[in-house]
Structure 1
């Protein structure tokens, strides 16, 4: 998580602490304030499934890899959803997917609610549109699949944008030295490579007068470059550097930063959701 949070400093050398960082990946959803090396304040995290996990499962539910399109069969579920969503006709309305925990005044994420609502929608559409004589392995029409993917992508974007908006409002209302105003919004992780999600987050950042900084897609997923960069930053600062491998403890799930989610929740910040123009 530290490596993901610091990758942007490799591709944007002028980036300085503190900054707000959003990590969206196959295993995590995390919203934190990066105040310095090894100094992170956690404002929100996933309460259930990760966004990447949900996208992969729903891509399989839609049977996208079996459409005969080589673009969709050779990429991750999230990327397949993005590619097919791009084929959605602009004049065709999206399916409405209720956003989970929309009344909760915190920065935590729940993606399993979107997954459940989406699966119910797909099952209903299959009952309506799929020829029952074609067997259990039939697939919805491509135009319907494109609309479904665009609807899913839009719901995820709105969910993430509203949590980030609340984080900014919390920081603005707090105004203490412990929660300084950020210099930028940084996004990282495989799911954060999605162009629609990035565009939505860019709108949120611009609303608060800040840039959106995102590493290139090749550095968004887990990679050795970000680990090496994290190590280099620590070495430059004379932190946690050892050449004795046997002295390094292994932790399958090491804690990340200081958990301040309760402070955000107790602040009960009400927001008026921004209109995200990049979402159809």
Structure 2
């Protein structure tokens, strides 16, 4: 089965084709970073309009890259939610129109399930069951994964997600948008031990996250510092270490609570190199396995949607053409396959 995947949940237009027998055949991605940079964040209306401009050429390019035509496509998967409603409508409308015209089934994919399954695109792939750490600009959650659609949310962010805290703190440091990767790069020049940042919600039981207070602590630290380049780098280092330590502490708790021996990291923050190094070191010390997607599959992309959609289509699941996009959609409400 060859599945066309369409991702338009926020500010990336991602198109891909996944073959159930031969794996990923082609994928194209267009990022709107430059479009939103002047505003310091995503402008929903501009994002929707840009998806409209880019989606048809990207579908054509992806088909050409895979050396396929429309008659080779067996089904279409699209991000149904969660996300920005206008952006979601562009992708879902395109998917349903193509499905109707090409007379193939379509399935709406949960955006976070796509991220959760993204490591399956690489080799070796993780084996079920495992604990998934989903960390992005909009979400931070720990999920007990027993199989596709068998998800138990063990903990999630009660305010700012980890990626959101990275971006906001980067802005406080005077870095451009998107700030998360730039903060990580600045942190490479910093030195540990100059600032003692808190590890939020680690002094109490539970697996929920809270990064809003950490961002406020960073803001107060930046406001009172001398603003020298090395000082700012040291603050970036302390902030990054605090986020990573917090995520690691919670993951260790989740492994103990679930009894699993594998952590799967996914989402945009999973591209952070120091986060990966810290989890690799912890895995060797504690005896658990850690998996994460290739860097190109960490941010929003069509490949993860094509893969997730292919699994559901092969299991016989389809989404009727009249079904609406879902800007809010609980992950643990999905059907198991």
Contact 1:99 1:113 in 2 (8 A): no
- Establish whether residue 83 from structure 1 lines up as the match of residue 185 from structure 2: yes
1:168 is aligned to: 255
Structure 1 or 2: larger strand share?
Answer: 2
- Establish whether residue 147 from structure 1 lines up as the match of residue 228 from structure 2: no
Contact 2:135 2:162 in 1 (8 A): yes
* 1:33 Cα deviation from its structure 2 partner: 1.3
- Establish whether residue 250 from structure 1 lines up as the match of residue 328 from structure 2: no
Contact 1:21 1:34 in 2 (8 A): yes
1:198 is aligned to: 276
Q: Which SS does the other structure have where 2:132 is aligned?
A: strand
Change (3 A) 1:13 1:198: closer
14-23 or 78-87, which moves further after superposition? 14-23
- Establish whether residue 4 from structure 1 lines up as the match of residue 79 from structure 2: no
2:82 is aligned to: none
Q: Give the TM-score, by structure 1 length.
A: 0.75
Q: Which SS does the other structure have where 1:21 is aligned?
A: strand
Q: Which of 31, 46, 53 lines up with 2:142 in the alignment?
A: 31
Distance in 2, Cα, partners of 1:23 & 1:77:
19
Distance in 2, Cα, partners of 1:217 & 1:76:
16
- Structure 1 residues 28-107: aligned runs within 5 Å: 28-65=139-176, 76-89=178-191, 93-107=193-207
1:268 is aligned to: none
* 1:201 Cα deviation from its structure 2 partner: 2.0
Q: Deviations over 1:251-274 (max 9, x none)?
A: 22111117xxxxxxxxxxxxxxxx
Q: Deviations over 1:60-95 (max 9, x none)?
A: 111123xxxxxxxxx621100111111124xx6331
* 1:186 Cα deviation from its structure 2 partner: 0.7
Distance in 1, Cα, partners of 2:220 & 2:287:
39
Contact 1:25 1:50 in 2 (8 A): yes
Q: Number of paired residues? A: 223
Change (3 A) 1:192 1:14: closer
The RMSD of aligned alpha carbons is 1.9
Q: Deviations over 1:35-74 (max 9, x none)?
A: 1111101111001111111111111111123xxxxxxxxx
Q: Deviations over 1:89-137 (max 9, x none)?
A: 4xx6331111222322111101111111111111111xxx2xxxxxxxx
Distance in 2, Cα, partners of 1:48 & 1:252:
18
Q: Which SS does the other structure have where 2:331 is aligned?
A: coil
Distance in 1, Cα, partners of 2:125 & 2:215:
38
Contact 1:94 1:150 in 2 (8 A): no
